[in-house]
Amino acid sequence: MEISREKFKHVGINEEKSQSIVRPSMTYWQDAWRRLKKNKIAMLGLIVIIVMTIMSIIGPMMVPYNHSDNDLSNTDQSPNSEHWFGTDDLGRDLWARVWMGARVSLFIGLMAALLDTLIGILVGGVSGFYGGKIDMLIMRFIDVMIAIPSMIFIILIMVIVGSGVVPIIISFAITGWLSMARLVRGQILQLKEQEFVLAARTLGANSSRLILRHLIPNTLGVIIVSLTMRIPSAIFTEAFLSFIGLGVKPPMSSWGQLASSGAAVLRVFPYRLFIPAFFISITMLSLNLFGDGLRDALDPRLRK
């Protein structure tokens, strides 16, 4: 076969075509979601978290018992077809208590994390954006406060405000925002020198628009990762406090409170500790794995 000149033709440059974008353009979030979907372990974590959340909503409704109703004729039952997780020393159904506890623990975890993130963004944003004296003051304040061990601080606050769900969330928020504010400030300091901020400023954007529309959205990835990591630590702290008798008190239930009362009867009914302990651990595990995956997905530079 002969390859001759005639077989080829000159097509030239199609200006329009070479400029057109063939593949669909992906936003940062679509890209992150695509990366996250590929991470099987993180997705497994996400599924477990979703299942736990759903169970915490419908779990207590699946049985005809209330989490706080005593039934003194049916105390200390082992798991059976009537009471799927058995009953405690006052005859309260443990299935209802475990899922009610899930509701409380997850709620505390989420609310505490959201609240301290919000405060952190606000303070860190202001501090990083305006700089100067305000920044100096806020940062010195945080330096000193952060050096106080947070658990001791939380215990002190709990002792004063009293036990219960709302005091726990408040005390977590009071101690938790410090590191978030530092993180956000660092990010804002880095970002505000970049060209797109200068461009926005040149176009006449005012400070609040710069912060809300340009700076915060660009730090959102880091913030969300930190937020997901805070949820398990808040759940852990709640469980810890309830375990030493400072957190949620019966008849209200939380996983830590159930574990605490389970530990008291460990020799006779070991499953009463191990059921809530299992759920605490599996939730913490899933949240940690999901958080790791999310970090890799949102910040590819950090990927190892």
Partner 1 sequence: MFRYILKRFFVSLITIWILATLTFFLVRILPGDPFTSEKITPEIKANMMKYYGLDKPLPVQYATYMGNLVKGDMGYSLRYKNREVNNIIADAFPASAELGIRSLAFSVTVGLILGIIAALNHNKGWDYASMVIAVIGVSVPSFVIGALVQYLFGIHWKLLPVAQWKSFAHTIMPTFSLGLGTLALIARLMRTSMLEVVGQDYIKTAKAKGLSPAQVTIKHQIRNAILPVVTVLGPLVAALLTGTFVVEQIFAIPGLGRHYVLSIQNLDYTMVMGLTIFFGAFLVFMNFIVDIAYGLVDPRIRVGK
Q: Site residues (CB under 8 A) for partner 1?
A: 143-145, 147-149, 151-152, 155-157, 159-160, 162, 232, 236, 239-240, 243-246, 259, 262-263, 266-267, 270, 273-274, 277, 280-281, 284-285, 288-289, 304
29-32 long-range contacts, CB within 8 A, separation 24+: 32/221, 32/297, 32/298
- For residues 91 and 250, which CB has a smaller minimum distance to partner 1 in the complex? 250
Nearer to partner 1, 47 or 244 (CB): 244
Nearest approach, Cβ of residue 132 and partner 1 (Å): 18
> Nearest distance from residue 60's CB to partner 1, in Å?
23
Amino acid at 77: Q
Q: How far is the CB of 208 from partner 1 (least distance, A)?
A: 32
In terms of CB distance, is 178 or 216 closer to partner 1? 178
CB 237 within 8 A of CB 154: yes
What residues contact 70, with CB distance under 8 A and at least 6 apart? 90, 91, 92
Minimum CB–partner distance for residue 93 and partner 1 (Å): 22
**In terms of CB distance, is 129 or 243 closer to partner 1?**
243
What distance in Å separates the CA atoms of residue 276 and residue 256, rounded to the nearest whole number? 8
Please state the closest distance from residue 256 (CB atom) to partner 1, in A: 8
Of 62 and 156, which CB lies nearer to partner 1 in the complex structure?
156
Closest contact distance (angstroms) between CB of 145 and partner 1 is 8
Nearer to partner 1 (CB atom), residue 91 or residue 164? 164
